[in-house]
Amino acid sequence: MSKPETIHWEGGADGTLYLIDQTLLPVEYRQLDYSKGCVEKVWEAIHSLRVRGAPAIGIAAAYGVCIGIQTVLDEMDEEKFFARFDEVTAYLASSRPTAVNLFWALDRMKEIAAAVKKLMDATQTFHPLEVANRLLMEARAIHEEDREICRAIGKHGAELLPDGAGVLTHCNAGGLATADYGTALATFFWAAEHGKKLHIYADETRPLLQGARLTAWELQQHGIPVTLICDNMAAQVMREGKIQAVVVGADRITANGDTANKIGTYSVACLAHLHGIPFYVAAPKSTFDLTLSTGDQIPIEQRSAREVTHGFGKQTAPEDVDVYNPAFDVTPAKYIAGIITENGVISPVTEENIRAMLED
Ligand code: MRU
């Protein structure tokens, strides 16, 4: 199969959004299409992880705004037009709570809407299609920028990985989680493209198996050697000396460097610390949330018990058993050797270094 395009927009403001349904991979490759104002379906796609991974959620939400306002492309009443815009952005913001890229992308769309409105108000004109076109341009810009950002992250991160290293990753921070190329996986792709030989160990990532279904698949597509392990095997492979570095993605990084990522990341970081293995986080600047001082303030998404008791349609626990299913955890900054951004590597991870790198 040719290279998957995670997110794609076809046409103008009345166009169509295409997403790969990631819940079906790797068994089935299916593209879903969204158009005609059906923002509820885009919300559902984000909420149920058909599109997932922090940067991809942000891009999908930006295009989701364009889908949502398709119901008012002919609306000449400015107040009604912007009321729909506000409704759509607030609604999309409720799809998932942890990845800050969602709110970052929606804020960019809101800024554009406010700027265009101001200009039109100044000339006492209103052209709904012009506002919609400008919003689509912004969504496309968010999408395109992410491609560049991922490559820069790949380049900076690859330098940290020794030739011949075994590298562990958790969840999926690849092309499927971004515009393409990824964040954590970008470091492996760049290293491989520049002649380094790595062997990747992919945690399967219970309960939704993003590591098994998506990371193992993406690495296979790129011809990078990958060994799949169950989450509870990480300590053993480290003890056997198979791992020289860990690289993971992030959903939100606070001012002090504490990092939320897929549930299980924190235990991998503790294990890496115990074994003296450097633990790196790869993330774009849009994943930082400097309004929060520490990771304790990050909202952690709680998901349905059925993901744990009835994974992929098969019951694996007694009916009505009590379940706790947080989708993310927070790794304290002290366990992170470096944060790989598009601007370079933040190391040591301190608030001062983070602020200096983000201002760059
Ligand atoms: O629940 P998911 O699959 O959206 O969680 C994804 C992750 O935790 C990723 O590691 C993170 O979003 C970074 S993606 C570049």
From the CA of 99, give the closest atom in ligand 1.
Answer: 12
Read off the DSSP letter of residue 283. -
Is residue 251 part of the annotated active site? The answer reads yes
Environment class of residue 31 by beta-carbon count within 10 Å: exposed (0-12), middle (13-18) or buried (19+)?
exposed
Give the CA distances from residue 240 to residues 165, 166, 230, in Å, rounded to whole numbers and listed in that order: 14, 11, 16
Question: Which residue of 262, 266, 268 sits with most ligand 1 atoms within 8 Å of its CB, as the best mutation to test the pocket?
Answer: 262
**Residue 4 preceded by cis peptide, ω within 30:** no
List the chain domain ranges. Answer: 7-151, 157-359
Nearest to 199 by CA among 145, 237, 143: 237
CB atoms within 10 A of CB 144: 12
Residues paired with residue 330 on neighbouring β-strands, in sequence order? 260
Are the CB atoms for 223 and 262 separated by under 8 Å?
Answer: no
Give me the pLDDT at residue 2, please. Answer: 52
Rounded to two decimals, the pTM is: 0.97
- The reply to whether domains 7-151 and 157-359 share a CATH topology is no
Edge-to-edge strand ranges of the sheet holding 245-248: 226-229, 199-203, 166-169, 245-248, 279-282, 338-341, 344-346
State the distance from the centre of ligand 1 to the C-alpha of 171, rounded, in angstroms. 7
| CATH number of the 7-151 domain | 1.20.120.420
Tokens for 252, please give them.
Answer: 């939100």
Q: Does domain 157-359 sit in CATH 2.120.10.30?
A: no
Q: Which parts of the chain sit beneath pLDDT 50?
A: 1
Instruction: Convert the pLDDT of each residue in 58-117 to its tens digit.
Output: 999 999 999 999 999 999 999 999 999 999 999 999 999 999 999 999 999 999 999 999
Q: Which residue from 153, 251, 259 has its CB within 8 A of the most atoms of ligand 1, so it is best to mutate?
A: 251
Q: Output the residue whose Cα is nearest ligand 1's atom 15.
A: 173
Q: Among residues 251, 258, 289, 329, which one is catalytic?
A: 251
Does an H or E element contain 216, and which? Answer: helix 216-221
The enclosing H or E element of 247 equals strand 245-248
The pLDDT value recorded for residue 360 is 77
CA of 83 to the centre of ligand 1 (A): 32
What DSSP element (H or E) covers 19?
A: strand 16-20
pLDDT value at residue 1: 41
Residues with beta carbon inside 6 Å of ligand 1? 49, 52-55, 99, 171, 173, 177-178, 182-183, 210, 249-251, 261-262, 327
Ligand 1 centroid–CA 279 distance in Å is 17
Distance CA 220, CA 218 (A): 5
